[in-house]
Structure 1
Amino acid sequence: MSKTKKVGVAFGVEGSIQYADDSVVSQTLLNKDTGTITLFAFDEGQGLSEHTAPFDAVVHILDGQAQITIGGESHIAGKGEMIIMPANIPHALHAEQKFKMLLTMIRGS
């Protein structure tokens, strides 16, 4: 759990992470054997190159807009939208403009 977040206390998600020039910033909010919840802030032009993960992951866009490619198919997701990235399928993220996201990874079968 992040040192700045207390269990059982409400906090604003979008304001909990800030953009940084030419960077991808991340903050893990919860890290358990069953999964993780991580905040990300991507500056324009930044991204995560194509990779796979052994678990399903849910991306919830908090601010801006992201280009998310899953299995070679490109999707645009904007503020308030979610997309599920299935396990073992190559995926990548790219910030054509700044965006923030909450990534929830579910470990297990």
Structure 2
Amino acid sequence: MQKASLLNNITYKENNKPTITVLFETAHTKEIRIVMKEGQFMKEHKAPFPIVIEIFEGEITFGINGEKQVLSKGDIISLQGNVPHDLTCTVDCIIRLSISVLDHVDRVNKV
């Protein structure tokens, strides 16, 4: 068993970059917390494997293939691998991201 908190030790960066924290790794996934302040963004990118994104707190504008939609607290979506997407924080937010154990957290940090 592994335990982590989406709420403990929250740190918002003052630049345009979100704060990326690996919460834990399972046999199949890496569970990541992304903390963003209003106005911070992650430019368009692709994950090589399927991902799941949960908006735990706040709100983002989420772009998929150039189409934008608002995701709010409690929303959860999944994307297949290699789907272009971007996000912009519109209300300070905490996001839970599940990526494949085969994916690299460095890739997320570089977005």
TM over 0.5: yes
Kept after mapping to 2: 8 A contact 1:56/1:107? no
Can you list the C-alpha shifts for 1:32-58, whole angstroms capped at 9, x where unaligned?
563211001111111110011111111
Q: Which residues of structure 1 form unaligned runs of 5+?
A: 1-6
Q: Which residue of 2 aligns with 1:50?
A: 44
- Partners of 2:76 and 2:64 lie apart in 1 by 13
**Percent of residue pairs identical:** 25
Structure 2: which 5+ residue stretches go unaligned? 103-111
Given the superposition, is the C-alpha separation of residues 48 and 61 from structure 1 closer, same or farther in structure 2, using an over 3 Å criterion? same
What is the CA RMSD across the aligned residues, in angstroms?
Answer: 2.1
* 8 Å CA contact 1:47, 1:95 repeated in 2: yes
Higher radius of gyration, 1 or 2: 1
Aligned pair 1:101/2:95, yes or no? yes
Deviations 1:49-73 (A, max 9, x none): 0011111111111111011111222
Q: How many residues align?
A: 101
What is the correspondence of 1:80-95 to structure 2 with a 5 Å cutoff? 80-95=74-89
Runs of 4+ in 1 over 4 A off after TM superposition: none
Q: CA, structure 1 residues 19+35, in 2 after alignment: closer, same or farther (shift >3 Å)? A: same
Residue matched to 1:74: 68
